Chain A
Amino acid sequence: GESVGLHLPTLSVQEGDNSIINCAYSNSASDYFIWYKQESGKGPQFIIDIRSNMDKRQGQRVTVLLNKTVKHLSLQIAATQPGDSAVYFCAENESGYSTLTFGKGTMLLVSP
């Protein structure tokens, strides 16, 4: 029979463009958020995190924005490169709990 898989949202960009990947979370008590990158055949890799006492945090070429009012998280990648092509997951955590809850992921495709 036909297999039905997750239909990941896909963002296609050109090399050099800026990319914005969005994530909505549901638990208003979550106070720690992480973005992971997963390349084909590899495990998720930590990119950047943010705690709820901040609304913006910057890393190298990446920026995470947190809007607690609407429970929204975004990852901005500046000057996107072909090596950025991967699936990106947001994850949330509530203080006192060790587990992370992962979103479904967004596939980023970067064309040279």
Chain B
Amino acid sequence: DAGVIQSPRHEVTEMGQEVTLRCKPISGHNSLFWYRQTMMRGLELLIYFNNNVPIDDSGMPEDRFSAKMPNASFSTLKIQPSEPRDSAVYFCASSLMGNEAFFGQGTRLTVV
């Protein structure tokens, strides 16, 4: 398996634009997580899905953020409209039945 695949690896966008981050989890994993990492806050859980269903989105900072998982092999995290303070590295991770989570390489988002 190629592991968790995220795209794009880098994204630079202007304030106010919509940003969509994509994730393909490891095949067979039933949990998917979106994390955000910044120097200020470290690694924060934004939302997680279990069997494609959002279970806990309490970490989503505000309504500008939304996440979907239309099927077991794909998830998106959308920010609309984006703001400079959203600049961070966004990680997707997947796991099986509460075991260790495997992380993707991340998407480095810069909002100017």
* Least distance between B45 CB and chain A CB atoms (Å): 6
* Least distance between B55 CB and chain A CB atoms (Å): 7
B75 interface residue, CB < 8 Å from A?
Answer: no
B100 interface residue, CB < 8 Å from A?
Answer: yes
Counting contact residues on chain A (CB < 8 A from B), the size range is 20 to 34
Q: Do most interface residues of chain B lie in helix, strand or loop, or is the interface mixed? A: strand
Whether B39 contacts A6 by the Cβ 8 Å rule is yes
**Residues of the B chain whose Cβ atoms lie less than 8 Å from the Cβ of A105:** 42-43
Whether A5 contacts B40 by the Cβ 8 Å rule is yes
Q: Mark B residues whose CB is within 8 Å of A.
A: 4, 31, 33, 39-43, 45, 48, 50, 55-56, 91, 93, 95, 98-106
* B33 partner, pick from A32, A89, A99, A104, beta carbons under 8 A: A99
Q: A5-B40, A44-B43 are in contact. Are A99 and B56 (CB under 8 A)?
A: yes
Among B41, B43, B56, B102, the most chain A Cβ lie within 10 Å of the Cβ of: B43
Residue of B nearest to A100 (CB): B101
